[in-house]
Structure 1
Amino acid sequence: MSTDDIIYDVIVVGAGIEGSSTAYQLAKRGQSTLLLEQFPLPHSRGSSHGQSRITRRAYPQAIYSAMMKDSFEGWKILQEESGEKIYNYCGTLYISPPSFLAPIETGLKVNKAPYRSLTLSELKSEFPAFTLPDDYAGIYDYQGGILYADKSLKAYQDQFKKYGGTLRDGERVDDVIPGDIVTLTTTTGNKYRGRNVVLALGPFTNNLLAKTGLQLPLKVQRVMVLYWREKVSGMHSSDKFPCFLDPAGSQGIRVYSTPSDEYQGLVKVCLSLGPVVDPYIREGVDISWVRERMMKYVTNRLPWLHPVPAIEEACIRTNSPDGHLFLDRHPKYENIVIAAGFSGHGFKLAPVVGKILSDLVQGKTPSFDMNYFKISRFDNGVVTNKSKL
């Protein structure tokens, strides 16, 4: 039987964390599901590779704090099903001037999430690894911590296959032919047909959306992932030092960190910003300014780390203009669902994103306010070929 003789209930394009979570949910719900990935797995060309990500309930927007309640439940279920340890609840600490912390505290209160406010003197006493400005305070999120990214991604893919899903990697989708049955053609010459399609392509979203006459206002950045060596062994281990976020940390650009956990004696401290790149051509850009900015930050704020990075890795993030996700149906084709623009904070949301996208595919109403995530919230720069719509 050739590939185009099969009609799947759903084809998910993109086997990053969002696509893999969605495919898992659909297969678990009894949908015949094909998951397609353009690169051979595992790979580091998208946004879901690497050893760790921060997780937290603390968000400036209450909706994300609410979504994370469901997401934590999803991570727990995945861990139980897979038998793989995929998170470490070492806590997440927000540090900044109180004006940054006010909406975060509101969101935690509204959603009844456990947290604690800390004064500057309490921060200095409990976390001596920091040197902080006089106007800083903190919020400690007890449910925050580390997600083990590579393990989480593989667990979703393995469980997807156990539920009967089909995963094909090394096949890039080159064309989308909409209709009651959507036809996808790939670089291998295969054709796949599905009653519904989910496009979860990360930085490559607009490359394929162009085939449907649609472009989203997305900006792809190459972000440096930097690891810094401890001066005192064990001072920043996850049983003593939490994940942290400093939204005002470097000229108003958020700094984030995980403790010494994945590489012994090394702490991940990064700037959530980088040069804009083509997702297929991301090497060769100037990233020296990121390194220099972070060296100053580590020198000033984390004096117990050596101020020169010991390891430099790279990741790609795809930003929407307002930092909110796109989780929506195609404006013309109801059976094409789009997930994009995760803006550096989508990994932790993957379990709930998978549920939302599965609900959209199945014609159900998600349990969250989807106005935050609609394509139509931007009036300009979205549709590139109105004749096709």
Structure 2
Amino acid sequence: MALPSRLVYDCLVIGAGIQGSFTAYHLAKNGKRTLLLEQFPLPHSRGSSHGQTRIIRRAYEEEFYTNMMVESYQLWAELEKEAGITLYRKTGLLFFAPSDNEEYESVCKNMEHHKFPWENLTQEQLKAKYPGFVLNPGEAVCLDYDGGVLSADKALRAVQEQFQRMGGLIQDGERVKHIQPGQVVTVTTTADSYQAENIVITAGPWAQKVLSPLSLELPLRTLRINVCYWKEKIPGRSGLLQNFPTFLRVVPDGEIYGLPCREYPGLIKICYHGGNEADPDERELQTKPPQIPDVQILCDFVSKYFPGLHPKPAVMEQCMYTSTPDHNFILDYHPLHKNIVIGSGFSGHGFKLSPLVGKILSELSMGKKPSYDLTPFSIARFKKASL
């Protein structure tokens, strides 16, 4: 039964994507009376958390992410145990790059430093383990043995169910119209008005629209991503479908990633990490010519590295990213209102870290010392952030 809206909650979380849902989950776990607000009826595919699959990996260039992934794996396992379901499937992750690439060297250094299971592979070892992959001259590849796939929709549903089992309340189909800061924050939606001692804003692609009325402009870009699926030229001939790992390949203007496909049996998911700017409320509209020819980049890549696949995508869907200039998250207080916490800018790689991000955002909301150094995620790093 819904609690009366006149109740003052300990915390109200705006946005029930994976980051907001894990934030609410951790708050409820700490005994906080928590309301989770979502503008669309659940489940939906308008934001950044939908779909069947996401990559999970330890292989990161930045050591602070590599370090954070230790606890992230633990928290995913904890949720699996609580919910009695499997969310993580180990496939291994291949990280490709030119042999003299600095990012590649940092990934290997971080994996070695943490003593994670990994190794560099030769062309022969790659072919033996993963038929259908092509390693070109002058390239290097390492294998993160614990890399794999997360079941995204299943995970989102599980964490929301656990939150509700702990007494948390979800109100969906309510868009936030106004936030009135104060010792007690008042949040007015299209359906009701709520009060909370603290709020956490995890509004995904709508973050800037929620933050602007609070006199905060952050350098966030909302990007429309083409999610592409590829078909074998001769079904079963390439060997890719039988043992396809997740992978990341450094390319001149970014990264390309791939993973086994559960959405469409018989297809493989290979995407460009990045996209073209778009208004999240006009997600399906192509209002201006794309700045990044991402689909053509993918077609060229597939032709070169996966000759057993058709060089044109069989299926294309769309998703949204919210990116920061340095592609690192924003995990911080509002500069003027310390009972307003912001989690944003997950830049297309936040899903795997969401259990830990939710824990950190809950710690900020409860006034606890964060478990990690949040300097890389501070608002102060942006000179152009304006009040």
Shorter-chain TM-score category? over 0.9
Task: Select the residue among 204, 207, 210 that pairs with 1:205.
Answer: 207
Amino acid at match of 2:154: K
Judge which range, 31-40 or 298-307, deviates more.
298-307
CA-CA distance at 1:123 after TM superposition: 2.4
Q: Whole-Å Cα distance in 2 between the matches of residues 218 and 236 of structure 1?
A: 37
- Rounded Cα–Cα distance in structure 2 between residues aligned with 1:112 and 1:170: 46
Deviation readout 1:179-200 (Å, 9 max, x if unpaired): 1100000012x11000000000
Alignment correspondent of 2:321: 317
Q: Is 1:366 the equivalent of 2:370?
A: yes
Aligned counterpart, 1:193 = 195
Deviates more, 1:90-99 or 1:369-378: 90-99
For 1:128 and 1:289, locate their aligned partners in 2 and report how far apart those are by CA, in whole Å. 29
Measured in 1, the distance between the counterparts of 2:142 and 2:3 equals 56
Query: Is the counterpart of residue 147 in structure 1 residue 141 in structure 2?
Result: no
Answer whether contact 1:87 1:146 (CA < 8 A) is retained. yes
User: Matched residue of 1:299: which SS?
Assistant: helix
Partner SS, residue 5 of structure 1: coil
Deviates more, 1:292-301 or 1:126-135: 126-135
Give, in whole Å, the separation in 2 of the partners of 1:66 and 1:145.
Answer: 17
User: Conserved in 2, the CA contact under 8 Å of 1:26 and 1:33?
Assistant: yes
CA distance in 2 between partners of 1:126 and 1:146 (Å): 18
Match of 2:54 in 1: 53
- Alpha-carbon deviation of 1:132? 2.6
Q: TM-score, normalised by structure 2?
A: 0.94
Partner of 1:27: 28
Q: How many angstroms does 1:338 deviate by?
A: 0.1
CA distance in 2, matches of 1:261, 1:187: 36
Q: Which residue does 2:186 correspond to in 1? A: 183
SS at match of 1:137: strand
Mapping of 1:47-196 within 5 angstroms? 47-98=48-99, 99=101, 100-188=103-191, 190-196=192-198
TM-score, normalised to structure 1's length?
0.94
What is the CA–CA distance in structure 2 between the aligned matches of 1:57 and 1:245, rounded to whole Å?
12
Task: Please state whether the residue corresponding to 1:221 is helix, strand or coil.
Answer: strand
- Identify the residue that residue 7 of structure 1 maps to in structure 2: 8
Decide which moves more: 313-322 or 275-284. 275-284
Match of 1:337 in 2: 341
Contact 1:120 1:134 in 2 (8 A): no
Alpha-carbon distance between aligned partners in 2 of 1:26 and 1:354, rounded to the nearest angstrom: 9
Q: Which residue of 1 aligns with 2:308?
A: 304
Check conservation: 2:59, 2:107, Cα contact below 8 A: yes
Distance 2:147 2:184 in 1: 42
Q: CA contact under 8 A between 2:222 and 2:323: conserved in structure 1? A: yes
Give the aligned residue type for 2:153.
D
How well do the aligned residues superpose, as a CA RMSD in angstroms?
Answer: 1.6
Partner of 1:272: 273
Distance 1:2 1:302 in 2: 54
Paired with 1:171 and 1:260, the residues of 2 have a C-alpha distance of 33
Say whether the 8 Å CA contact 1:327–1:373 is kept in structure 2.
yes
CA distance in 1, matches of 2:210, 2:265: 40
In the alignment, the residues of structure 2 paired with residue 151 and residue 310 of structure 1 have an alpha-carbon distance, to the nearest angstrom, of 25
Deviation at 1:310, TM superposition (A): 1.4
Q: What are the Cα deviations for residues 183-235 of structure 1, in whole angstroms up to 9, with x where unaligned?
A: 000012x1100000000001100101012100110011100111111234282
- State the alpha-carbon separation in 1 of the partners of residues 327 and 245 from structure 2: 25
2:328 is the counterpart of 1:328: no
Shift of 1:3: 4.3
Match runs of 1:180-259 below 5 Å = 180-188=183-191, 190-230=192-232, 231-233=234-236, 235-237=239-241, 240-248=243-251, 251-259=252-260
Q: Give the partner amino acid of 1:226.
A: C
Is this contact kept in 1: 2:52–2:262, CA < 8 A? no
Instruction: Tell whether the 8 Å contact from 1:62 to 1:111 is kept in structure 2 after alignment.
Output: no
The one-letter amino acid of 2:328's match is H
Partners in 2 of 1:284 and 1:161 — Cα distance? 35
Q: Please report how far the alpha carbon of residue 141 of structure 1 lies from its aligned counterpart in structure 2 after TM superposition.
A: 0.7
Q: State the 1:261 CA deviation.
A: 3.8
Offset from partner CA, 1:67-95 (integer Å, 9 cap, x none):
11111111101111112221111111101
Cα distance, 1:112 vs. partner? 2.3
Q: Is the 8 Å Cα contact of residues 131 and 239 (structure 2) preserved in structure 1?
A: no
